[in-house]
Structure 1
Amino acid sequence: MQTVEQESEEEPLARAARIIESIVEAREGVSPFSRTVEREWGRASDEEIDAAVRERRMPLHKQVQLLFLHSQRLALDAAERYDPSLLRQSLIRLTRAGAYIARAKNHLPPELRKAALSFAAVCADGIRVPRILREEIRRENARIAEAPDWAALFGYGWDENVISEKLKEVRKVAIENNPVLLPKGEITDSDESAADILAAAAGRQEREASEVSGEVDYDRSDAEVRLRSVELSALRGAPGKLRLTFGKKNSPSSALIFGENGTGKSTIVDAIEFALQGRIGRSAYYDSPVAPSLRSFSAKGESRARVDLTDDSSVERSAVVDPQKKVIAEPRSVRPGFRLAPITIKRTDLSNFLDTEALSRGTVLLDYFPADSDSLAVRPSEKARLLRTEVTELRIKRTAYAGRLADLLGVDPGDLANSSGFNNAIREKIYRGKKAATFAEEGGWQHVDIELRQLVQQLGSVFTQLGKAKQFIENSDNSLNPVLHRKQTLLLKSALQDVGAEVTAAFRRICHEHPVERIDIVLGESGPLSLDVVVRLKGGRNCFPQQLFSEAYRDLLALLFFVAVARRAADRGQAKVLILDDVLQSVDSTVRQAFVEHLLEELSEWQLIFTVHDRFWLERLRSLFNSARHVFVEHQIRRWDPDAGPELQPPGVDVLTKDLKFLLRNGEPDSVAGKAGPLLEYVCRELCARLRLPIPYNRERVFTLHDLWGSVSTSLSSTHLASTLRKIDSVRGMRNPVAHGDPRALELSNAEARSFGDAVLELHDAVRCSSCKRWANEGGRCADNQCVIDIQVTRK
């Protein structure tokens, strides 16, 4: 047995290890450990033991025993290796052991649970333990009012004072004797992942955000305005004048804008954003050499855009050149209803959302909820981004000017590659030993060849601009200083406090097959202005979306996030206008449809503007808007002309039937039948869906015209369409030879083909409102329930 003098001379780490060992032995004396646990895990690695405890592979009481044994082993290893980091890990295991004992709520008296929690709290004092664990200990400790029973936990002779004194000595050794270098390959705190830490932070942020009051009283005067029309000229890909209306004067509506790629859809969207917010794609810089030009290269007039609003006012903005020869938007003021958030979601917004580093992602949110209610929020990194593109252009000019100047001066172009070499060459070849001021005062520049003088001026200007740009870029990190954006960050935290719950509900509704339990949005945790997204799976594991989701589901998650934030902006006075610029093409068709259904349900009062380039998706959107009874107009861009820009489909033309009508006048019989057949199938599909007509069961859910036609003809046989249905029934068989390339298609007569085409058009016109052109619904009315269509379905 050691004497007191021997103990005092003992190595501190060895002494601390013996204290841990005595605590473990005391616990074993009260609750003997299973020899099976010692035998099975005695030779397991630290990682294997941690995984077994974390994944709960064994009963709770065995997890507690394993934690005590593991703590003892780590303490002994710390003394043997002289490694205080292992001693800290030992204390973390003891902390977990105490918390795990307290989890057995139904089997232990509250006095013992209180002692276990108090023991865990003492072990964790001053040691970095997982935040989730620390919060659990504090929460459960506060719930138990009874005094702790230390004897039941460690036996007689052990109380809070004894435990505290012993662990105080252990903690002193673990903290104060910290080695300078840690062993390679070992990580001090590996109990939880970064996703776990962020998930815990999300809960804390929700509590903090609820305490933040709305510090900015935003102007709500424009909350109910909508877009009535947009007019643009000499802007982007529209050299001429272009005008689109969104519904009738007193009844603004949503819109579907169709056009193949490169025909000018985004030009229209950009014009709306430019007029209302003075920026395009969230940027107010229009001179980038690597981005689309704001001003049309094919036009000489003023580039401008004008939006008429439903309150009988208009917003007009023009692109002008300022004294520094930069293109700016005039006027610069923005209406109150369009200051709080971007009105457009573009494809780049989705791709950048989850594919960028968390800090960069967070700065995107600085476009939302300005701290100054009288201005539009602007990202601080926007100017640095512009300057990076300008640097590229300046470097190109530097190389060209330096090459030309080197020829005139008789020097190597490399000598002029930087400002120092440039200055030296000017002093030597032009000043010839004179000082710059003396050379200028003596009129030296007047005797320099004009070409040489201009090149010196141009290259000198390039070096000056490069220096300023590089200096700003180097200092741009300071613009992300959280102190500068503290007020706006608080507003963002308040606005985003329940966005995670909304995104979770929407994602689970749309993608119910995914094992997603919760999606957390965490602001400012991994960096001062960062934005992290954490997904919690039903099994309890936390991960990041990039680890789990495909590109389509990442895009969906980004869409749901932007929509949720847009709704928060609308709650604070933003006009309920949202533009989705061809953003759904990467999303799976079923998910895409479910998202639009969700959008139309949740944003039923909003003005939604979709741009699309796929005709099939356009048809689906029509059906979804009609099914939701969401009023909309449709614009189709026929083609793009370099001189005129986007060319719209003339008003009054039914795009579904225009080709068939043309062929009925000018086409061959097989061409007429080839157009009439698909139109008939499309009409039948719409009728079956809208009138809820019965269709024969099909395991693959792929229905032919035969299946659809049988239901349509039977259900509508007692209506005034009976004669039309009989006419179609007698000639619809000619569709098959044409559809399948049968040679008999060439034998069709003009009369037969016209009879088929006319009958299909007759049916098409009869089931759509002659006034608003919408389809019939179950009640015999058009989709917006305004006009009567005389159709009474026969149910059997």
Structure 2
Amino acid sequence: MDSDIGGAVQNGSVASGTFEQDAAALTQTANRLLSIIRARQQVSPIPRTLITRWESVEDEAIRTSIRERKVRGRDQVQLLFFHADRLATNAAQFRDPQKLIESITQLCFACFYVARSRTYATPEVRRAALELSDKCSAGIRVPRFVRVELRASLEKTKADLADWLRFLGPGFDAVKIEGILKEAKTMGTRKDLFVLPDLPPLEATESAAELLAAAASEQQEQADRLSLRIAYDRSDSEVRIRSVELFGIRGAPGSLKIPFLLKKEPVSSLIFGENGTGKSTIVDAIEFALQGRIGRSTLYDSPLSPALRSFSRDSDNWSLVELSDGTKVRREVVTNAGGTTAAEPLTVRPGFRLAPITIQRSDLLRFLDTGALSRGTILLDYFPASSETLAIRPDEAAHRLEATLTELRIKRTAYAERLALLLGVSPADVESREGFSKSIKEKVYKEQTPYSFQQNRGWEAMDPELARTIRNLSQVHSDMRSIKKQLVAKDNLLNPALHRDQVDLVKVALKGVADEVTHAFRAICREHSVERIDILFGRSGPLSLDIRVGLSDGRSCFPQQIFSEAYRDLLALLFFTSVAKKAAEHGQVRVLILDDVLQSVDASVRQDFVNHLLSNFQDWQLIFTVHDRLWMERLRSLFSAHGHRFVEHQIRSWDAAEGPILQQPGVDVLSKDLMFMLDHGEPEGIVGRAGPLLEHLCKELCARFSLMVPYKRDGRHMLADLWSATQSSLCDTRLEAELRNLAADRALRNLAAHADPKVLELSMNEARHFGRAVLDLYTAIRCPDCRRWVNEGKECGSDRCISNIKR
């Protein structure tokens, strides 16, 4: 029979008819076990009064009565036999293998108490009961005192066939009983008896993504029934940033102040600077002042992350943010008692406690690359469980330990090499803690004990460099041992029980985020077959964050299965901005900084994302940092098209002594080189700057007014093609005078377009006339205040702003 059962399930699939075969085998085994129990009843029947009393009582109630000794003496033994009988009967009737083990357990206890009795049974019956209890106990869980007593008693006695006949009656012996019990235990521990037959595997019917679809609706219903059990302070909700000032922070060794004001009112900002010029330094200074952290972390002095202090300034490092309510928030960099870098003060304004104010590229990568089971930890610095503090991710402490251990390993290698040279041994001999101790004992203490070596002034007589190296390496070994112990226990930091309150808050706070992400994704990616995006927190694990994508054909999948990298980036951006919006509903300041997060995103996707952001975050103060000039120009146009007020800051360069060097206010990047050459340059320099600017202006006008340009197979249009379309199409507009002025300089346009050597023969007057004519056209089609180009719609209110070129 065992071979039949063993072949029932193979490789996770079920053969036809296996279910019925297993069920029949289980029934047969239960009946054979029942024959042992009922054989005992034939010798000593269970009283009818006991059966009547307990037959309608639940199994758990019977177990409790026996465990708490509510039934004593002979009745307790009879109740155990009665319960064993009922459990075996149920195993056969309901095809439940677990009931077999429970029945054997109760039979074991019944026989054990019979063997213990001095008045209930004869010595021969007690011997047989003792052996049966021992055979029942093998392979099942029984209390230790039962096993100890059984072992001790069996060493003193052994039952013979006559004893079995007195206990169970004719037809039973030890060998037969042992076979029945072994068969019942094997069947009772089977986990694969009831796999449904003749059905396809789970993967072919319902995928994990499809199962999450039902779970998403359940989570939504749960969120509808709950509300945030904490009242966050909303007093700062209307605050905006007026300016940031920093000194000695990161890449700014000197003083730097950035205003975010337009007509004395705080507005959004575009900060342009090439890579390495200090854009992130400005962002970090804002985050440090307002939230006391850098990149969502308080790990300020790790060798694996940017230093908070400027390397050019060891003291007096601070950041200050002026807010629209007239207050100023100043935070300093200090060294605490433990010798590590810290922030002071530690308090955070109410409006900046609910969520990070900065989104960086690393946040997107963490969101996309972290497994679903631990992805939810990225939300544990949102919505703190206490309204008085700022939430910190639990993995922050682990990162700090790992960074410290990395630094210690570097020190260990350096000190070990230095000590090896001084002692004349191999670095490998002192790099480990055990090798270090052995080398010191052999090479330094020699025949002395550590105590006698010290008493004999051995340390004082030693070469100072050797003594210092030994002390340093000893300290490193000690610190590494301590850190490693903490790292072993770091998993407890992610213990869900420690974060239960905050997890519940996040679940409620995420209500509606999936709807917003879905709506935005479908609006941006119209060609995609996405019907629904569900976001589930704490579903597949206590700290999990699962994302399920529902397609228009009814199928479900995960983002990695269907989205390109660009769309996954977009999904991460939509998620973080939607959660930030939810935080603002509960009192978070409506300020969001996007630190160069869009540069690696597909061009069409990032443009649509910015349109979404400007449409749905109209009353927010948005701060973008950008390192690409073309993208900067595109952002400027998008902000202007949405009527979103902003100021620009251009970082011209970075200096080791001064840090980021800003472009002077009012300087237009597109025209500044030409203006400089008009004042200080030679004719060839003026024409060399005027030509590219004129070509750029013609491209803008052709694109904005859909002008007809001669077809080019490679798409590269010459200035002559662009100028011809511009001049002929717009000559009857308000630009007539500027275009006519440039039309007179045809020869100069050709020289500028082709860098002809004849440009060296130009007079200063000719060059300046051409340069000023280009600047006049530029001024006529772009407002110097709001930076809007013509044909962009709403004017800014300035007398110089021209939203169209009609007469």
1:477 and 2:491 equivalent? yes
Deviates more, 1:614-623 or 1:188-197: 188-197
In structure 1, which of residues 591, 595, 598 is the aligned counterpart of residue 609 of structure 2? 595
Give the CA deviation at 1:321. 0.9
In structure 2, which of residues 546, 563, 570 is the aligned counterpart of residue 556 of structure 1? 570
Instruction: State how far apart, in whole Å, the 2-side matches of 1:329 and 1:347 are.
Output: 24
Q: In the alignment, what sits opposite 2:202? A: 189
1:364 and 2:305 equivalent? no
Within a 5 Å distance, the mapping from 1:129-528 to structure 2 comes to: 169=95, 177-179=190-192, 189-190=202-203, 191-248=205-262, 250-431=264-445, 436=450, 445-528=459-542
In structure 1, which of residues 624, 635, 645 is the aligned counterpart of residue 649 of structure 2? 635
Alpha-carbon deviations, 1:588-625, whole Å to 9, x = none? 21111111111111111111111111111111111111
Give the CA deviation at 1:503. 0.9
Q: In the alignment, what sits opposite 1:90? A: none
Residues 208/473 of structure 1: CA separation in 2 closer, same or farther (3 Å cut): same
Give the CA deviation at 1:74. 4.5
Q: Secondary structure at the match of 1:415?
A: helix
Instruction: State how far apart, in whole Å, the 2-side matches of 1:11 and 1:459 are.
Output: 64
Conserved? CA contact 2:709–2:725, under 8 Å? no
Residues 681/315 of structure 1: CA separation in 2 closer, same or farther (3 Å cut): same
In structure 1, which of residues 717, 724, 739 is the aligned counterpart of residue 732 of structure 2? 717
Query: What residue ranges of structure 1 are gaps of 5+ in the alignment?
Result: 1-8, 18-44, 48-70, 86-164
1:565 and 2:506 equivalent? no
Conserved? CA contact 2:246–2:320, under 8 Å? yes
Conserved? CA contact 1:695–1:711, under 8 Å? yes
Conserved? CA contact 1:84–1:175, under 8 Å? no
Give the CA deviation at 1:628. 0.8
Conserved? CA contact 2:674–2:771, under 8 Å? yes
Give the CA deviation at 1:305. 0.9
Deviates more, 1:665-674 or 1:507-516: 665-674
Give the CA deviation at 1:442. 6.9
Give the CA deviation at 1:301. 4.1
Larger radius of gyration: 2
Q: In the alignment, what sits opposite 1:581? A: 595
Instruction: State how far apart, in whole Å, the 2-side matches of 1:763 and 1:175 are.
Output: 91
1:651 and 2:665 equivalent? yes
Give the CA deviation at 1:686. 5.0
Instruction: State how far apart, in whole Å, the 1-side matches of 2:621 and 2:366 are.
Output: 25
Q: In the alignment, what sits opposite 2:17? A: 76
In structure 1, which of residues 642, 645, 664 is the aligned counterpart of residue 678 of structure 2? 664
Q: State the AA in 2 paired with 1:579.
A: I
Give the CA deviation at 1:199. 3.0
Conserved? CA contact 1:713–1:725, under 8 Å? no
In structure 2, which of residues 707, 717, 721 is the aligned counterpart of residue 695 of structure 1? 707
Conserved? CA contact 1:716–1:793, under 8 Å? no
Query: What residue ranges of structure 2 are gaps of 5+ in the alignment?
Result: 27-90, 101-186
Q: State the AA in 2 paired with 1:362.
A: G
Q: Secondary structure at the match of 1:239?
A: strand
Aligned-residue identity in percent: 53
Give the CA deviation at 1:221. 1.1
Q: State the AA in 2 paired with 1:622.
A: R
Conserved? CA contact 1:84–1:177, under 8 Å? no
Q: Secondary structure at the match of 1:217?
A: coil
Instruction: State how far apart, in whole Å, the 2-side matches of 1:559 and 1:728 are.
Output: 46
Instruction: State how far apart, in whole Å, the 2-side matches of 1:583 and 1:789 are.
Output: 32
Give the CA deviation at 1:431. 4.6
Q: Calculate the aligned-residue CA RMSD, in Å.
A: 3.8
Alpha-carbon deviations, 1:8-48, whole Å to 9, x = none? x999989x99xxxxxxxxxxxxxxxxxxxxxxxxxxx999x
Instruction: State how far apart, in whole Å, the 2-side matches of 1:262 and 1:74 are.
Output: 66
Q: State the AA in 1 paired with 2:543.
A: L
Conserved? CA contact 1:231–1:241, under 8 Å? yes
Conserved? CA contact 1:84–1:179, under 8 Å? no
When the two structures are aligned, how many residues end up with a matched partner? 649
Q: Secondary structure at the match of 2:300?
A: coil
Q: Secondary structure at the match of 1:306?
A: strand
Q: Secondary structure at the match of 1:657?
A: helix
Q: In the alignment, what sits opposite 2:76? A: none
In structure 2, which of residues 545, 550, 553 is the aligned counterpart of residue 531 of structure 1? 545
Instruction: State how far apart, in whole Å, the 1-side matches of 2:20 and 2:415 are.
Output: 69
Residues 493/167 of structure 1: CA separation in 2 closer, same or farther (3 Å cut): farther
Deviates more, 1:619-628 or 1:429-438: 429-438
TM-score scaled by length of structure 1: 0.74
Instruction: State how far apart, in whole Å, the 2-side matches of 1:311 and 1:292 are.
Output: 32
Instruction: State how far apart, in whole Å, the 2-side matches of 1:80 and 1:170 are.
Output: 14
Deviates more, 1:397-406 or 1:606-615: 397-406
Q: Secondary structure at the match of 1:367?
A: coil
Instruction: State how far apart, in whole Å, the 2-side matches of 1:647 and 1:778 are.
Output: 32
Conserved? CA contact 1:219–1:336, under 8 Å? yes
Q: In the alignment, what sits opposite 1:115? A: none
Conserved? CA contact 1:320–1:330, under 8 Å? yes
TM-score scaled by length of structure 2: 0.73
Instruction: State how far apart, in whole Å, the 2-side matches of 1:492 and 1:529 are.
Output: 11
Residues 480/723 of structure 1: CA separation in 2 closer, same or farther (3 Å cut): same
Q: Secondary structure at the match of 1:640?
A: strand
Instruction: State how far apart, in whole Å, the 2-side matches of 1:209 and 1:357 are.
Output: 24
Residues 243/171 of structure 1: CA separation in 2 closer, same or farther (3 Å cut): same
Instruction: State how far apart, in whole Å, the 2-side matches of 1:569 and 1:743 are.
Output: 62
Alpha-carbon deviations, 1:65-105, whole Å to 9, x = none? xxxxxx9x9442556899999xxxxxxxxxxxxxxxxxxxx
Instruction: State how far apart, in whole Å, the 2-side matches of 1:373 and 1:687 are.
Output: 53
Conserved? CA contact 1:687–1:712, under 8 Å? no
Conserved? CA contact 1:78–1:84, under 8 Å? no
Deviates more, 1:263-272 or 1:653-662: 653-662
